[in-house]
Chain A
Amino acid sequence: MLSPFLEMYRLHFAKTIAYMLQATEYQVGAYLKWLWRVKDFSQVARRKDLVKTRRASVLLSVVRAGMLGQFLAALIWGVVAIKRKDPAGLFAIDLLVSIPIVWSHLIVVPLVFARWLYVNPLSGFQVQRAEKIFIDHPAVKIAVAGSYGKTTMKEILLTVLGEGKKVAATPANKNVAISHAQFAKNLDGDEEVLIIEYGEGAPGDVVRFTENTHPNIGIITGLAPAHLDKYKTLQRAGEDIFSLADYLKNKNVYVNGECQAALPFVKRTHQSYSQRQAAGWKISEIKISLKGLSFTMKKDSKTLQLKSDLLGAHQVGPLAIAAVLADSFGLSKEGIETGVAKIKPFEHRMQPREIGGAWIIDDTYNGNIEGMYAGLKLLQALPAKRKIYVTPGLVDQGKDSSAIHRRLGEAVARAQPDLVVLMRHSVTDEIVDGIKAKNYKGQLVIEEDPLNFYMHLDQFVAAGDLVLLQNDWPDNYK
């Protein structure tokens, strides 16, 4: 096997560069940080591989062509120099040796130019055009913002409201301005409800989203440390997310009442939702199992008996507020109950799966501490012969990362799984500290090769086991 250094000189290196660019969403800063941190390029693409999109293919071709060009230049220079017995021939070696270093850096130049000269102006134009579409559109526009739970909330609304209204929602986790613009472009014009997910990433994002999409209703799913590389503090992230409420003049704003971090931002006119109530509706008889959950909602003479395949008591609040909105839009009791029953667990978000009698809860798209706590509560509550908890920890937790991961460790110990498997990363020690601080009595395993573990999970589990997999660590984080 080639040493880590020589990995750069393999033909595959060009593809590795393209993969790194794609994995960092072509963000030059993030790409360069990652590039300079890598010690062994054979270990870069561990979880995924390059997806051959048009942009990725063009970049890959540019890198390959550049590398080949430099190689040929070095060859010609060397041959000529040898013929002339010119000591400058040594430069040919420099040219050869520097190929991967030069092209892994040079490739960002066309990216930067393309962004300045083409992508940004075009996006600006598309976003402007979309704003007009949103203003003119007669539908009720519901904006969903928050550090976590946005996509789930959006999907719940789409399914429940879809039982009686023509509803459109931003697709998958496409939640930034350009995605909103593309969504607007594809609208039919006769939708009754539009659901727009706001994917905040830096201060001012949510303000811009509201100015472009002009929502009538706002749902804030929660506040937790995320994107703190840009926000720096949770306060600033909260201010940005709650600028949705400011836009709505604090009316028609629904906030997740179970999120402690959001409470300082909540105004008297905001309505909250939780496992106890949702905008004045009382919630009772909550039952959870691996098959899903059920609960009852009551307000005045109205009663709703809701059942869903979603897992975990933390889903009660979002389901309840969707039911409340559906009721306010005039959907029938049957329609609401049918809509809630139709909701299936979303991929990699508390998604249960059975393997030979063992239950695996795939929550690997969960990337926030509140979601981690919710999953751990579920693990603790559900019966099983043996409980296994698996996580690598969280990324983008900012300067509080150590404290957050220590608290995560404490929460893991409180959930009392029989086995804890931590995927080795930069935050592992902090999680272990938290686990040990709470005198965890079970078995603790540090896994050095996460991919191998996930690939062979079936070998580790047996009937009666309950496994919770939370978060997956992208390749570009250490």
Chain B
Amino acid sequence: MKTVAVIFGGRSTEHDVSIITALASVIKPLELSKQYKVEAVYIAKDGSWYWDDKLKDIKPYQSGEIEDFMHRAPKVHLLFDKGLTLVKSSQFAGRKMYRKIDVVFPAMHGTHGEDGELMGLLEMANVPYVGCDFRASAVAMDKVLAKQVAGASGVESNPWVWFYSRQFSKTPQTVLKQIKDLKYPLFVKPAHTGSSIGISRVEKVGELMNALEVAAHYDDKIIVEQGVQNLIEATLPIMGNDDPIPALLERPLTKPEDFFDFDTKYMQGGKKGKGSAKAGAQGYSELPAQLPKELCKKAEQIGLDVYRVLGCSGIARIDLLIDSKTGKVFFNEVNPLPGGLYAHNWRRAGISNVDLVSKLVSLAEERWQAKQKLTTSFSTNYLKQF
């Protein structure tokens, strides 16, 4: 039986979302598949790594017992020895416990996890891992880079500008001048955060400074986007390596005037003020999106184009903005590890949770095997000649 390490938590504002993704959407179905031995690897908010079966249960996180656990439990070390091995002290007789990992399933959201950092580490260990590789993750998680790469391949985005947070701090007037040409409403976003954290909808000039300050609080890079007229938001989960397949085009059901922040998305089931917390991130949408067939096809194609040009593999979710009057579809952003894997959408598309995680593990192995065929080093006389 293969051993899959599910890594979650992390030094990210989406730490808690990551725990839910890992426990509910990854570990549980992986274990139910009975094909894998699953090891839970939790990265605390301070960046310490822990590995224990107890971490598969939601209760310690909810009750706060996790703090006690972290005080007592040994931290995990990583060994890069022909792959990845988890190492932790047994706390007795100086013995250590080793666990060789066959596949890693990152269930991280946001910075230091979803943005390619973790994937880089796993590349160094030369272990197969689920989801986009470090290059695609880094590009996808940078909203500016993603738009630039997609734009270079002819995929259209609504007008936008970007700048570093330090530019905003030092010369706010220059930044405001840059933004001046965009039409309101505007969306001010930290370039690297997900789950709608730090995002503001700005209706008028007077609100802009505050929105920029909020975004600068979360990130060193800020993007300001012009709102799309007659807006229909849509999102498309996609899975695969060389031959990606889309799930169903999904439409969030918030009105354009409602701002869709973290609280709305995760805490209120997508319905501001009256949603049920139980519904979670999946309770807010129309699935499949009830849009004209042609428009759906167009959106699906643009989603697949973005997936390919950004070099995504494994799984990702492409967010799109549609002008319902003109039928124009704009690329908005990419989420290389969608919250909960967007399992609800895959299920409606005919792929069960158990099949989804199993397929993702297979895709990780497929990509890794293809990579092993590449030549990465060769012998030279260079050292002898030195």
Give residues in A with beta carbon < 8 Å to B: 356-358, 385-386, 452, 456, 458-465
Contacts and interface: CB of A to CB of B under 8 A. Distances in A.
B344 A385 contact: no
A389 to B, nearest CB: 16
B350 A459 contact: no
30 contacts: A356-B344, A356-B347, A357-B348, A358-B352, A385-B350, A386-B350, A452-B32, A456-B28, A456-B32, A459-B28, A459-B29, A459-B352, A459-B354, A460-B32, A460-B352, A460-B353, A460-B354, A461-B347, A461-B352, A462-B347, A462-B348, A462-B349, A462-B351, A462-B352, A463-B347, A463-B348, A463-B350, A464-B350, A465-B350, A465-B352
Interface in B80-94: none
B134 interface: no
B346 interface: yes
B355 A462 contact: yes
Given A461-B352, A462-B346, A465-B352, 4 more contacts: A356-B348, A358-B352, A459-B353, A462-B351
A385 B352 CA distance: 12
B29 A463 contact: no
A463 B346 CA distance: 9
A189 to B, nearest CB: 49
B28 A357 contact: no
A456 B28 CA distance: 9
Interface residues of B, number: 14
A73 to B, nearest CB: 41
Contacts of B32: 452, 456, 459-460
Contacts of B349: 462-463
Nearest to A448: B34
The 3 closest A-B pairs by CB, nearest first: A462-B352, A459-B353, A462-B347
Contacts of A459: 28-29, 32, 352-354
A110 B346 CA distance: 58
A121 B349 CA distance: 62
Instruction: Determine the main DSSP class of B at the interface with A.
Output: helix
Between A386, A452, A456, A459, the greatest number of chain B beta carbons within 10 A of the residue's beta carbon is seen for A459
Interface string B85-106: 0000000000000000000000
A204 B348 CA distance: 53
A354 to B, nearest CB: 12
Interface string B288-313: 00000000000000000000000000
Between B347, B349, B354, the greatest number of chain A beta carbons within 10 A of the residue's beta carbon is seen for B347
B70 to A, nearest CB: 25
A155 to B, nearest CB: 33
A101 to B, nearest CB: 34
Contacts of B348: 356-357, 462-463
Between A460, A462, A463, the greatest number of chain B beta carbons within 10 A of the residue's beta carbon is seen for A462
Interface in B39-84: none
A385 B29 CA distance: 21
A459 B348 CA distance: 12
A466 to B, nearest CB: 12
Contacts of B344: 356
Contacts of B350: 357, 385-386, 462-465
B359 to A, nearest CB: 12
A182 B355 CA distance: 51
A462 B350 CA distance: 5
Contacts of B354: 459-460
Interface in B313-333: none
Between B346, B350, B355, the greatest number of chain A beta carbons within 10 A of the residue's beta carbon is seen for B350
A410 B265 CA distance: 50
A463 B353 CA distance: 11
Contacts of A458: 353
B6 to A, nearest CB: 15
A457 to B, nearest CB: 10
A463 B29 CA distance: 17
B205 to A, nearest CB: 45
A124 B29 CA distance: 54
B91 to A, nearest CB: 20
A456 B29 CA distance: 9
Contacts of B355: 462
Contacts of B29: 459
B23 to A, nearest CB: 13
A311 to B, nearest CB: 22
Between A358, A385, A452, A460, the greatest number of chain B beta carbons within 10 A of the residue's beta carbon is seen for A460
A357 B347 contact: yes
A85 B245 CA distance: 82
Nearest to A458: B353
B336 to A, nearest CB: 23
Nearest to B25: A459
Contacts of B347: 356-358, 461-463
Contacts of A385: 350
Contacts of B346: 462
Interface in B327-386: 344, 346-355
B354 to A, nearest CB: 5
A465 B351 CA distance: 10
B32 to A, nearest CB: 5
